[in-house]
């Protein structure tokens, strides 16, 4: 199957809104129409054709050859059955509000990657910015489904207000990992810093390396958790290291008792 190809001509001179370039929105449109889609975010007009060389293909699979940290909104509202691959970096709000499908990025992602993701599998090969899977200002919940895998490091407040789904950060996590998490699971294999699980209601945060936790977390002892083993099996294709972490005996810290207190932080016992 030949993917629909967007080849970057040159680094764009302004931030681009690429949310219109998902398979379902490209379907049935002529190359000329697509080239005329406005993607600029300033007064100066920028059209798809100005930035990309296009090659028509199967719209269910969109591929960007060349990326930029100015590519905002890649894969926004993506639907199940579609996939997007970026050979390079992307900007803010990668896969925001995606309903399903698969998004893979070879390079780094900007802030708010997977923001309010509802069901997509999003994989970021490099690092990502702040508020991974989090809500935008004023929104009440973060990601509500799907899965996010970050091979590198994540910025501050990854998993903010997570509602459902699984986030795996294979590198280090920035400050305040899993802040205000409502439910769901965040796994960080590297170091975590700051107030981990700050105001955690019912979520699970799994840390590969022990770190100092706030006084509102209470040590509940080391346990073999059937749930962790189940998740380990489910994750083994996407992150073998995360699966390995979940297969060992885990020490459970209950909290955040400053709020509901039914969440947990798990670390290897």
Provide the CB-side half-sphere exposure for 28 (13 A, CA). 2
- Specify whether the CB–CB gap between 48 and 39 falls below 8 A: yes
* Contact letters for another protein, residues 196-225 (x by CB under 8 A): ------x-x------------------xxx
* Contact letters for another protein, residues 28-67 (x by CB under 8 A): ----------------------------------------
**Binding to another protein by residue 183, rule CB under 8 A?**
yes
**Binding to another protein by residue 9, rule CB under 8 A?**
no
DSSP H helices, the chain, are 23-26, 31-35, 48-51, 226-235, 240-246
Distance CA 97, CA 68 (A): 21
* Number of neighbours of residue 240 by Cβ within 10 angstroms: 12
Cis omega (within 30 of 0) for bond into 213: no
Question: Among 231, 242, 265, 266, which residue interacts with another protein (rule: CB under 8 A)?
Answer: 231
Instruction: In angstroms, give the least distance from the CB of 37 to another protein.
Output: 34
**Binding to another protein by residue 27, rule CB under 8 A?**
no
Q: At 123, list the tokens.
A: 């994989």
CB-wise, 31 or 222, nearer to another protein? 222
Q: What part of residues 118-177 is at the interface with another protein (CB under 8 A)?
A: 145, 164-166
Q: Among 202, 208, 201, 203, which Cα is nearest to 187's?
A: 208
Question: Among 55, 99, 241, 262, which residue interacts with another protein (rule: CB under 8 A)?
Answer: 262
Task: List contacts with another protein (CB under 8 A).
Answer: 145, 164-166, 183, 185, 202, 204, 223-227, 229-234, 247, 262
């Amino acid at each position: 199957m030949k993917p629909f190809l967007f080849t970057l001509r040159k680094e764009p001179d302004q931030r681009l809104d690429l949310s219109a370039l998902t398979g379902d929105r490209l379907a049935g449109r002529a190359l000329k129409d697509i080239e005329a889609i406005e993607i600029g975010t300033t007064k100066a007009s920028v059209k798809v054709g100005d930035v990309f060389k296009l090659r028509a293909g199967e719209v269910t699979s969109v591929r960007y050859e060349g990326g930029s940290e100015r590519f905002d909104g890649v894969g926004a509202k993506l639907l199940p059955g579609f996939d997007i691959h970026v050979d390079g970096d992307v900007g803010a709000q990668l896969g925001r509000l995606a309903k399903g499908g698969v998004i893979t990025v070879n390079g780094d992602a900007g802030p708010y990657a997977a923001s309010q993701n509802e069901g997509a599998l999003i994989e970021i090969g490099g690092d990502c910015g702040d508020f991974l899977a989090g809500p935008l200002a004023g929104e009440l919940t973060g990601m509500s489904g799907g899965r996010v895998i970050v091979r590198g490091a994540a910025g501050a407040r990854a998993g903010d207000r997570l509602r459902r789904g699984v986030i795996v950060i294979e590198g280090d996590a920035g400050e305040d990992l899993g802040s205000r998490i409502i439910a769901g699971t965040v796994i960080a294999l590297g170091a975590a810093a700051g107030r981990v699980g700050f105001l955690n209601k019912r979520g699970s945060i799994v840390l590969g390396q022990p770190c100092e936790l706030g006084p509102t977390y209470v040590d509940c002892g080391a346990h073999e958790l059937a749930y962790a083993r189940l998740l380990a099996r489910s994750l083994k294709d996407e992150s073998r290291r995360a699966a390995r972490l979940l297969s060992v005996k885990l020490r459970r810290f209950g909290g955040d008792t400053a709020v509901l207190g039914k969440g947990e932080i798990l670390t290897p016992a």
